[in-house]
Amino acid sequence: MSERASPLPGDPDVHLSVFLHGARFDFVACLTAALIFVHEYQARHYADAVTIHLGDTSGYQRLPCERLYLGP
């Protein structure tokens, strides 16, 4: 499986922008993992510190440990 392969091929990929301590990090993740990530991130950090963008996801690395957001 390539680094760009989605753990849920039926899910669309989205672009995540994450702001942490003044730095911006951009990733691509499947929609399901992204929504769970946003929910968990907002519970621990500022509510507007992460956003999901639809559209082109080329040029971004996959969210590290993306699969962990999909399992129990």
Cα–Cα distance between 72 and 62 in angstroms, integer? 20
Q: Name the residue with higher pLDDT: 5 or 62.
A: 62
Cα–Cα distance between 38 and 12 in angstroms, integer? 16
13 neighbors 28 (Cβ within 8 angstroms): yes
Residue 1's pLDDT is 38
Alpha helix positions (H), the chain: 31-44
Residue 3's pLDDT is 57
Condensed to tens digits (0 to 9), the pLDDT of residues 23-72 reads 999 999 999 999 999 998 888 877 678 899 998 999 999 999 999 999 87
Which token pair is 7? Answer: 């753990």
8 neighbors 32 (Cβ within 8 angstroms): yes
